[in-house]
Amino acid sequence: MKELKANIEWFERFNQSHEYEGFSKEPVAYFCAEFALMSDMPTYIGGLGVLSGDYVKEAGDREFPIIGVGLFYGESHELNENSPEGNNEIKSQDPQKNGLSPVADEKNNRILISLPIHDRIVRAQAWKWTKGNTTVYLLDTNISENEQNDRKITSRLYIPDKEMRVKQEMVLGIGGSRLLQALKAHPSVYHLNEGHSAFLALELAKYEVERRNVDFAKACAFASQHIAFTNHTLVPAGNELFNKDLVSAMMYKYAEELQVPVAELVSLGSIQDSSLFSMTTLSLRFASKTNAVSALHSRKAEEIFSPHKMQNITNGIYIQGWDALNTDDKNKMWKKHQENKKNLLSAIKDENGDSWNENTLLIGWARRIVPYKRPLALLENIKALKELAQRKRQEIKVVFAGHTSAGDEEGEKIFKEVRRLISEELKGIAVFLPNYNLELAKLLTSGCDLWLNTPVVGSEACGTSGMKAALNGALPLTTKDGWVDEVDLTGIGWIMEDTDINHKILDILDKSVVPMYYKHLENPNDSSSEWLARMERARQLILDKFSMTRALREYIENIYLPISKQRHQI
């Protein structure tokens, strides 16, 4: 708690400084394809969106001037988790019903921006979300001024069609920059939170050509002085690749506007000796500051993206948004945890009709369903799991939740297998809660006793769900990946070896977790309880080391201030 308090006090001092005054006039522009701003609004699908949502909410609380720029997705394409076939459902979204306001000028006229895509001009309106002095603008092409096909550019997050995806990312990067110009905003830093918005760099170079009357190559060098890039994944699916011919076709009219050969633009994101264009490569070539989101991730990223150097700023969580325990009093902690657990058990009863005992050990696994996160790790030996879970007076229950992206065939296959095993083999022992969103994530991370985290080591950039669970007293059982590699969990949770993971999980449950938990239940108010002591340590670890307050401070000190200073030296 001391470190969290120290970080809050740092902001109180910083907000009185000359540097803060500079950011008030020239804020940070924070570009991201996802923002988890409200639970039911489909502007996010996974950890990237939850992280960016936490980030702008923290900035609002700390009164740090950030302008978020993203896209408003008019449809949610969700896997019907209640359907045995797993069909996709399409749901239309109304931005104003989601609490967003239209962006208008001082005469209350709707602001429209335009940009060349392929062989025509595409226009977009914008919606805004506000918290404190932080605003997030979401661009939307579903307007009558566009052709029917162009109205669909922002229809859904991570649209599978590659041509539509390039168009979407041009709207985000180029269109987002033009929106800021229309709003007369003058950012000191442009922060690319993942590579989806990397076309922004080209628009900044265009601006430098016009402002400084220099050639495009020099303009790119000037533009880079404004740009920061955060990489969030080493998994290929998260580092987008497009065919160079496709990018050329989509950008040739934009290249004409820049008076630069389209081949020169495409070369900035080209992967050597291939026909591929990489949004990550484009981001890395332009950014003057780059960072990864855990120490392990930064080491791995430097190996993969050599010769680019990666600073480390480990992710944090928005404490005010995720803290359902709301007490550091050891004597009150268990009672509050049990209240949170009852809320989760009520949701479970609504799903499967089972009334689970609040004193039964409850294990949670909840996140996006992709192979490297290994959602089937606990389910590889059903016979052994059932024997352990049904032990008299030491029962175990398991709750799963998660989702896949539409079009992710591998993820959908795993999703269906998890559902099948639970419904056919583990009735009464495990449940899968559908419709995974922010609201359900808060129920799960606050109501489980043990949080299971099973990624292949070196694959998870950070993994903040475990932070949220630990904040609420759920003890971690995890591989040493992401943020976990930075801490000693001795006396807090349990670390598993990366190989033979199913055996490791069951062995640790059998020999350590289950005996400790049920010993605690013999006298849950005993202040000497080891389980209760671990809950307290887990919570303090997150408050001290993994708050978004700390992360935002590190971005300001290590990324934004250096960029702001070098920019003024140009």
Mean pLDDT value across residues 61-71: 97
Rounded to whole angstroms, how far apart are CA atoms 299 and 461?
A: 11
- Name the token pair of 40: 């039911």
Fold designation for 319-546: Rossmann fold (3.40.50)
- Please state whether beta strands 88-92 and 75-79 pair in parallel, antiparallel, or not at all (unpaired): antiparallel
pLDDT of residue 83: 55
Find the range with the poorest average confidence among 395-404, 405-414, 557-566.
405-414
3-class DSSP string for 494-532? EEECCCCHHHHHHHHHHHHHHHHHHHHHHCCCCCCCHHH
Question: Average pLDDT of 348-355?
Answer: 92
> Which amino acid type is present at position 320?
Q
Q: Which pLDDT does position 94 carry in this prediction?
A: 86
Q: List, for residues 223-272, the tens digit of each pLDDT value.
A: 999 999 999 988 765 678 999 999 999 999 999 999 999 999 999 999 98
Q: CATH class for domain 2-316+550-568?
A: alpha beta
Token pair, residue 39, equals 């639970």
pLDDT for 77 equals 57
Please tell me the predicted confidence (pLDDT) of residue 84.
45
Q: What is the mean pLDDT of the chain?
A: 94
**Is 80 or 303 the better-scoring residue by pLDDT?**
303
**Could you state, in order of their start, the residue ranges of all structural domains in the chain?**
2-316+550-568, 319-546
CA distance 382 to 424: 11
Give which of 507, 387, 530, 513 is closest to 450, Cα–Cα.
513
Section 438-456 average pLDDT: 97
pLDDT at position 239: 74
